Amino acid sequence: MSAVYINSAACISVQDTLKDDFFKNLKPENTVQILKAIEPNYKEFIPPAASRRMSKTVKMSSVASQYALKEAGIENPDAIIVGTGMGCSQDSEKFLKNVIENNEEFLTPTYFIQSTHNTVAGQIALGLQCHAYNFTYVNTSSSLEFSFLDAKLQINDGEAEQVLVGSCDEQTDRTMELYKLNNTIKKEGNLPADFLNSQTEGVIWGEGASFFVVGKEKTETSYAKLEDIQIINELNLEETQSFIQDFLAKNNLKNNEIDAVILGFSGDSESDIYYKKASELFQNSSLLYFKHLSGEFNTASGFSTFMACQILKNQEIPEVMMINFVNKPEIKNILLYNHLGGKDHSLVLLKNV
């Protein structure tokens, strides 16, 4: 499977990533349990009547996709592929609440219709009047990676030339309550969180939407070459290094040829051990982390992919992301390693264009 190019990148996150100067104004957060995305003024992008009927994740995705398409100079993509872990969970909760409060009678179907995971990809297509291939992947923390894989297949098979690929996840009150009860979210007493050397379980939860235009050809706006992706559902700790080494060997790369490694340290002591094991392989590379900027959520890798694109294009690493202080004169290869709670491990290799 040949490489494809990431020709645009847009992100709505807990950082102000829609602003041009966000790269120099990244603010880490480790003192609260839940991080809210900084949302744009939706009136500038979506008609108010339509916006009122949209959930937060649909609105975030609609705006991020508009930014990505505009940057790539594309009006209508050849395919729309979206990855999400939780989908439109706000509408799901509203529907279930209606079921309980109305004793399963006289239910309005709106919340149910809008609660399905593929609502995001569908709404983007409706807005664009795009009748092309439209698909949604729901694979917890590897949802975006599966979407990228599909995009590569579409392009390599000659089915598409420009593909809109995105990821999105929102927070809901009830789900956050449940995450606190089962210790997915860090207890208040364990804050502020130590992301790199945590002694406590749980994470700080975030949200966001990231969209990219992936193309067959390199363009003036290209950020990176999407070289390869590897995904595995379960991984024993002692298999971590061989998982990474085999991936690099497949791409004819040695450890010291990886200029930067972005690791998904989340502050969860039980699952961060995988990242510590992985970091041992890259003593001569810039080691970076990102979830102190984005929070943990199913598609947090969208934020790390967005940041990797910015790093490759600007040839600059924000100091706030650095674990060590190894600085390469040129950043050619970036490896992204992520998982969620020790499940669904993914590797993404990006190359400078």
Cis peptide leading into residue 109 (ω within 30°)? no
Q: Looking at residue 274, what is its pLDDT?
A: 98
- Domain final residue pick, 194, 215, 236: 215
CA max distance for the chain: 66
Q: Looking at residue 34, what is its pLDDT?
A: 97
Q: Looking at residue 345, what is its pLDDT?
A: 98
Q: How many domains does the chain have?
A: 2
What span, in angstroms and rounded, lies between the C-alpha atoms of 290 and 314? 17
Q: Looking at residue 178, what is its pLDDT?
A: 94
Q: Looking at residue 288, what is its pLDDT?
A: 98
Q: 199 burial class (0-12, 13-18, 19+ CB within 10 angstroms)?
A: exposed
Query: Do 11 and 55 share a structural domain?
Result: yes
Query: Do 245 and 211 share a structural domain?
Result: no
User: By three-state DSSP, how is residue 123 classified?
Assistant: helix
Closest C-alpha to 257, from 328, 324, 347, 306: 328
Query: Do 264 and 205 share a structural domain?
Result: no
Q: Looking at residue 168, what is its pLDDT?
A: 97
**What range does the domain containing 91 cover?**
4-215
Q: What is the CATH number of the domain that holds 107?
A: 3.40.47.10
Helix (H) or strand (E) run with residue 93 in it: helix 89-101
Closest C-alpha to 338, from 264, 282, 279, 286: 264
Tokens representing 14 are: 């807990």
- Domain final residue pick, 215, 246, 277: 215
| pTM: predicted TM-score of the whole model, two decimal places | 0.95
Integer CA distances (angstroms), 30 to 189, 199, 204, 275, 295, in order: 12, 14, 7, 19, 9
- Domain final residue pick, 180, 215, 250: 215
Q: Looking at residue 141, what is its pLDDT?
A: 95
Helix (H) or strand (E) run with residue 343 in it: strand 343-352
Closest C-alpha to 311, from 6, 1, 23: 23
User: By three-state DSSP, how is residue 289 classified?
Assistant: strand
User: By three-state DSSP, how is residue 212 classified?
Assistant: strand
pLDDT in tens, the chain (353 residues): 788 999 999 999 999 999 999 998 999 999 999 999 999 999 999 988 888 888 899 999 999 999 999 999 999 999 999 999 988 877 787 878 888 888 888 777 777 777 788 999 999 999 999 999 999 999 999 999 999 999 999 999 999 999 999 999 999 999 999 999 999 999 999 999 999 999 999 999 999 999 999 999 999 999 999 999 999 999 999 999 999 999 999 999 999 999 999 999 999 999 999 999 999 999 999 999 999 999 999 999 999 999 999 999 999 999 999 999 898 999 999 999 999 999 999 999 999 99
The counts of H helices and E strands in the chain are 11, 10
